[in-house]
Amino acid sequence: MPTLAEQGEKSRVTQETFNVFVSDKLDASGLRFLEQTNGIRVSNKPGLKGQELKDAIRGADAIIIRSETKVTREVIEAAVRLKIIGRAGVGVDNVDLEAATKRGIIVMNTPEGNTKSTAELTWSMILALSRKVPQAFVSLRQGEWKRSQFTGAELYRKAIGIIGFGRIGREVARFAAAFGMKVVVYDPFISAESVKQVNVTFAPLNDLLKQADYVTVHTPLTPETTNLIGKEQFALMKKGVRIVNCARGGIVNEEALLSALNEGRVAGAALDVFIEEPPKKDNPLLQHPAVIGTPHLGAATVEAQENVSLEVAEQVVDALFGKEIRNSVNIPSLDAESARVLRPWAVLTEKLGLLQAQLFEGDVKRVEIRYSGEVTAYKMAPLTAAFLKGLLSPMCGESVNFINAIPTARERGITIDESTTTATEDFANAVAVHVTTSSGTYFVMGTLFGNKEARIVRIGDYDMDAIPHGTVLAVTNDDKPGFIGEIGTILGKNGVNIAEMTLGRRQEGKTAFAMINVDGNVPAKVLEEIRTLKKVQAVKIVRF
């Protein structure tokens, strides 16, 4: 397979232009850049769906989307010349990444364009919530003058808890300092040492919730952050706390929030996002007098739309002409020969990162990754980037990708130590990773079966032969007769099918470790039932 640069060079010789199809409404700044670029032909037809969309993109070399267009497997198969999918925004959940990757199509997003707009909306919400501005205005329009009903709260010397300390979280903290607030931060993938210039206090999530007068979330919606703030978390909070969510619906459990509002524990909530968008008119949160809301306006500023529009247009053009690939979410930048050999290894290392992030505890401090065998004849940086993408994704979501994973990790204070050895050790080719966190050092090793299928061959001291795919139950248990039967019975009676299972143990009759691949998901009640088994020491769900 030729490199993108070689494809671009060939295309410049054999065709007059690259065809770029814009399928969603894009700000004029991006369209203007495309139209003024030599060698680019633009087709701007937002709103097409179904067969019309398939027909329109058949000859496209690149497609630019926002959130409305669904780039399904069928759409990708119809676009026979497609090389690039550019998303003007962060989320790429409307793109079939697996189908795109299989075709060698680069999917890229624009993770930085709406940082300031979202941070500013967060502060608009905090101020409006504190002083009851929307409720007071509604009362005033009704001809009332009920000043005593709208007594608010000052921000000065209050504690704000920021959950997620990426670009937006840091911008929110910067504003908080101007209001004289105490800033408490929870982010397991950022070390306090990496942000010494910011006057914040790092704390575990539960400690943050106990201290905060305001809680604002700035994480992506992932399996790990879904319902991150629920009934148990609200029970830890101060009476009178205020909640702000301008990130993603579902991070704050809406049912638990409503209960906390009705009980008086939460004094008010400001929501820009909802589990269901648009929310139903009779959504009880929208009817609650202590709730204010907006219709997902985080990136809805003139400047943010200009930024993401121009950014995605520039990225697409640079990639088409073989200059540079920025913000790829699915494919490391590799030459053809390296791509052929290393892409299966990139899949493996990303899954090793996902395993580390979901299985082990603590704030990540250091990553030591060692490559052994014939694979070391190639550049290792793309594989290290893939591992870090997997490690950071549960908390950072789509803002971390193959291109920015290494600098993102370093920005968060994670030390990266990469080494190679030609010694084959236990496996002809392998990747071994030690991750040091605030709770300890954890070890995993992986290899490829048949040079293409990823396998986890060691977790800690346990030898394994686990398939990193789908949903996996990771169980630490007493090595005693009957364990497999007991856990199988629980899963079976709840309709959860076991697809694969691998077991490892250090010594007969001591402690064992199991990786159990299951079809579909494992409901929370089933997980709790497994935890009650006497032989089970710990159980976690790992999603690959």
DSSP states of 154-189: --TT-EEEEE--SHHHHHHHHHHHHTT-EEEEE-TT
Active-site residue identified among 242, 248, 343, 412 = 248
Contacts of 21 (CB under 8 A, 6+ apart): 43, 45, 56, 57, 60, 62, 63, 64
Q: What is the pLDDT of residue 425?
A: 61
Q: What is the pLDDT of residue 438?
A: 87
The domain defined by 1-112+299-331 folds into: Rossmann fold (3.40.50)
Q: What is the pLDDT of residue 335?
A: 60
User: Domain locations in the chain?
Assistant: 1-112+299-331, 115-293
pLDDT single digits (tens) 410-462:
888 899 999 988 765 678 889 999 999 988 999 999 999 887 899 999 999 99
Residues of the chain above pLDDT 90, percent = 72
Q: Where are the alpha helices (DSSP H) in 360-447?
A: 381-396, 405-411
Q: What is the pLDDT of residue 61?
A: 96
pLDDT higher at 334 or 17: 17
In this prediction, residue 504 has a pLDDT band, given cuts at 50, 70 and 90, of: very high
Instruction: Provide the 10 A C-beta neighbour count for residue 87.
Output: 29
Active-site residue identified among 170, 296, 326, 458 = 296
Instruction: Provide the 10 A C-beta neighbour count for residue 263.
Output: 11
Residue 1 has pLDDT above 50, yes or no: no
Q: What is the pLDDT of residue 38?
A: 93
Contacts of 528 (CB under 8 A, 6+ apart): none
Active-site residue identified among 263, 277, 361, 374 = 277
Q: What is the pLDDT of residue 377?
A: 87
Q: What is the pTM of this model?
A: 0.71
Provide the token pair at 292.
Answer: 């204010």
Same fold for the domain at 1-112+299-331 and the one at 115-293? Answer: yes
pLDDT single digits (tens) 139-177:
999 999 999 999 999 999 999 999 999 889 999 999 999
In this prediction, residue 12 has a pLDDT band, given cuts at 50, 70 and 90, of: very low
87 among known catalytic residues: no
Alpha-carbon distance of 253 to 21, in angstroms, equals 38
Picking from 14-18, 290-294, 408-412, which range would have the lowest pLDDT averaged per residue? 14-18
Provide the token pair at 178.
Answer: 């101007």
Alpha-carbon distance of 62 to 57, in angstroms, equals 9
Residues of the chain above pLDDT 70, percent = 94
Instruction: Provide the 10 A C-beta neighbour count for residue 496.
Output: 19
CB distance 221 to 275 below 8 Å: no
Mean residue pLDDT of the chain comes to 90
103 among known catalytic residues: no
In this prediction, residue 330 has a pLDDT band, given cuts at 50, 70 and 90, of: confident
531 among known catalytic residues: no
Residue 11 has pLDDT above 50, yes or no: no
Q: Specify the pairing of strand 498-505 against strand 462-466.
A: unpaired
Burial annotation 40-67 (CB, 10 A radius, 16+ → b, else e):
bbbeeeeebeeeebbebbeebbbbbbbb
- Could you tell me if residue 340 is left (phi over 0), alpha (psi between -120 and 50 degrees) or otherwise beta? alpha
In this prediction, residue 123 has a pLDDT band, given cuts at 50, 70 and 90, of: very high
**What's the mean pLDDT in 95-115?**
87
CB distance 344 to 382 below 8 Å: no
Q: What are phi and psi of 202, to 5 degrees?
A: -90, 140
Contacts of 131 (CB under 8 A, 6+ apart): 150, 152, 153
Q: What is the pLDDT of residue 315?
A: 94
Q: How many residues does the chain have?
A: 544
pLDDT single digits (tens) 254-292:
999 999 999 999 999 999 999 999 999 999 999 999 999
Q: What is the pLDDT of residue 399?
A: 77
Provide the token pair at 506.
Answer: 């250090």
**What's the mean pLDDT in 515-527?**
92
End-to-end CA distance of the chain: give it in Å, rounded: 27
pLDDT higher at 18 or 112: 18
Residue 446 β-bridge partners: 431, 456
pLDDT higher at 501 or 223: 501
Q: What is the pLDDT of residue 216?
A: 98
Burial annotation 466-483 (CB, 10 A radius, 16+ → b, else e):
bbbeebbbbbbbebeeeb
CATH superfamily of domain region 115-293? NAD(P)-binding Rossmann-like Domain (3.40.50.720)
